[in-house]
Amino acid sequence: MPLPDSEKSSLSAPNGVPSQCHSNPGPCNSLAAHFDSLARHFRSISATTTTEPVAQHTAHLTRLLSEAEGYLDSIAPIRKLPVEILCKIFAEACVLDRNAADERASLARADLLRLSRVCSRWHDIVMDSPHLWSTIQIKGDLWPKDPDLAAPFLRLLELALERTASHPLYLSLSISTYSPVTVEAALHRVVKHCGRWKTVELRIDEAHLDALASIKGHLPMLEYLVLYYYGSDKVEIFSVAPKLTVVDLMHDRDADDPHPSLPWRQLHSFTYDCICAYSLAPALTAMGNISYPGASFTISALNVVLHFWDQCINELRPMTSTISALHLEFCDASGTIRGDPREAGGLVGPILANLTLPQLEEFSLSSYGSLEDSVFWPSAAFESLGWRSSFRNTLRILELPAVSVTLDQLVQCLSSLASLERLLIADQHESEHYTSDWSRREKRDNTIMTDELFMRLAWTPDVSCLIPRLKSFTCLTFLRFGDEAFLDFVASRIPHGRSTIGPFNVHLRPLVSSTRTVPQQSIDRLSEWVGRDELRFCLSDTVKQG
């Protein structure tokens, strides 16, 4: 049986498949009708197999099925996605590797080019979406020294900038004294587009500051700056940036070196990465420059050299700041503490002793790497800071995810925080510490999430209640507490019958895998509270501490 002319024209049209596949987000009505027609034709062939040669029908079926296979891609589920959704998927799938060693592939955005080769529709979407190309990464140390060899790199950069059209740019630029002269041309290219810089990660030394001089006063879109600066000259190029609100600064400097000129009064969030203990005093000075209401300040101390710490403490000066959030992070990124780990307990106290924070609402202290569990809770220093700063009336959030603190120290701390609403605490891994006479190391159990703690945290209607306004409780735990003590704590905090607004939030994050069986009665009690919207309960999978 011959194929109807209407179906022949549809199948044989040279541009039929592309137009149906690529001009619509999903299969169009005509394509669906065409498949219905094919189905009817198949049925008609089957109905006449008794009157016509089987071989003829087999040939027709084979040809029709072969032609129909060409349409399968056009009805794949991904074809039904709108372009906007596809672009979001592409953006999530294509993230530049910060550690990539192939500079050409990075400049060319090889990840996007691979997507563009899947089909002509994807090619059009990728090439016509400037925001997909808006992240540009330049690593000067990977550029060739030979100008002829560097020319293709420069062309790829120019092409990437062209494809961004007028979209805001997310720029990562790393240039050091070891970078070849050829990369300066790339620097000049991106400087021409400084008016579109929105997020900038800049690693630079003073030798290349002059090349960036022209951007001063021409950063109307800059909102987020990550600045790693190595040098003693003052950086002034970011002093005027009307939308800049978030800064992450790493500055290899001494106390006498000047801070970069920044629009301090408008900064909402500031992180000071101290790559050595000597950077601590400048970090506290920077904290004093922040005056935006509700601002957050983070001190991240990396590669702490403990036996230099005492020398640096002498450089600290009393500082009053109006920040509302302070985060202290201590990490030995090298993986080896240089000095006795017992001394790590003295890292935090001197910092707190020099601060007055009358508007502080959030405080967190954490340690990572080989310092984990070695940063002891500075009870006396924190109590003094709380007294000077009126934490009883202001502090609402306290987070101690990786700090060595005893149960008594924690309770003493919480007893003076009447306004606290959110608490995060953690059990610590069993660790070894020197004895008081330094004669030997002994293991110490750092579990604080016990029945006793939950009994002390239970709400009571009198003045003895610890943190009476608690609304959210998160703990990283070894699950060494009993079900009854935990449930009694939760039941006491349920807002039923009290003026507290909203459900009580509990998040348990086990630090170890556990085969612990929870009684059905306990599950039923939790389910009942959740069902009445009195409790929001989350039990995470096992997490890695630190």
Helix (H, G, I), strand (E, B) or coil at 158: helix
More confident of the two residues 513 and 26: 513
CB 302 within 8 A of CB 277: no
The token pair at 211 is 């090349």
Asked whether the predicted pLDDT for residue 417 surpasses 90, the reply is yes
| DSSP strand pairing (325-332 vs 296-302) | parallel
Q: With 60 as the cut, is the pLDDT of residue 1 above it?
A: no
List, for residues 494-528, the tens digit of each pLDDT value.
876 555 578 999 999 988 777 778 889 999 999 99
In this structure, what token pair is assigned to residue 474? 């998160």
More confident residue, 289 or 41: 289
CA dihedral sign of residues 143, 149, 150, 152: negative
The whole-angstrom separation of Cα 368 and Cα 347 is: 13
Answer yes or no: are the C-beta atoms of 130 and 167 closer than 8 Å.
Answer: yes
How many whole angstroms separate alpha carbon 12 and alpha carbon 3?
12
Asked if 367 and 375 count as a contact pair (C-beta separation under 8 A), the reply is: yes
| E-strand stretches of 393-514 | 397-399, 422-426, 428-434, 441-446, 472-477, 504-510
Sign of the C-alpha dihedral computed for residues 503, 425, 385 and 316 taken in this order = negative
Structure-token pair, residue 528: 């009942």
The reported pLDDT for the residue numbered 247 is 95
Cα 68 to Cα 12, 118, 176, 461, distances in angstroms: 11, 20, 58, 75
pLDDT value of residue 21 = 37
Report percent pLDDT > 90 for the chain.
39
Residue 15: the pLDDT is 37
Q: Up-side HSE of residue 155: CA atoms within 13 Å toward CB? A: 6
By three-state DSSP, how is residue 539 classified?
strand
pLDDT surpasses 90 at 376: no
**Residue range 322-326: mean pLDDT, rounded:** 95
pLDDT of amino acid 93:
82
Residue in this structure with the two tokens 């003026």, named with its chain if needed: 499
Give me the pLDDT at residue 255, please. 52
How large is the angle between the packed helices 147-163 and 183-191, nearest 10 degrees?
Answer: 20
At residue 368 the predicted structure's pLDDT band, cuts being 50, 70 and 90, is confident
Q: Which of these, 221, 217, 212, 208, lies nearest to 190 by C-alpha position?
A: 212
Residue 181 has pLDDT above 80, yes or no: yes
Residue 204 confidence (pLDDT) above 80: yes
Kindly give the pairing relationship between strand 422-426 and strand 397-399: parallel
**Of 382 and 311, which is predicted with more confidence?**
382
Most confident of 361-365, 367-371, 425-429: 361-365
Instruction: Give the pLDDT score at 91.
Output: 87
Higher-pLDDT residue of 71, 382: 382
Q: What are 79-138's pLDDT values in tens digits?
A: 777 888 888 888 888 887 877 788 888 888 888 898 888 888 889 989 999 999 999 999
The pLDDT value given to residue 134? 92
pLDDT band at 386 (very low <50, low <70, confident <90, very high): very high
Residues 240 and 545: their CA atoms lie apart, in Å, by: 41
Q: At what angle do helices 5-12 and 29-47 cross, to 10 degrees?
A: 130
Residue 75, pLDDT > 70, answer no
Three-class SS of residue 109?
A: coil
The two three-digit tokens of residue 146, written as one number = 């030979």
Question: Stretch 154-167: mean pLDDT, rounded?
Answer: 92
Residue 289 has pLDDT above 80, yes or no: yes
The answer, as to whether pTM is greater than 0.85, is no
With bands split at pLDDT 50, 70 and 90, how would you rate the model's confidence at 466? very high
Residue 322 has pLDDT above 50, yes or no: yes
What was the pLDDT predicted at 70? 65
The residue ranges of every structural domain in the chain are 5-80, 81-197, 245-407, 418-546
The pLDDT assigned to 336 comes to: 42
- Residue 264 DSSP class: G
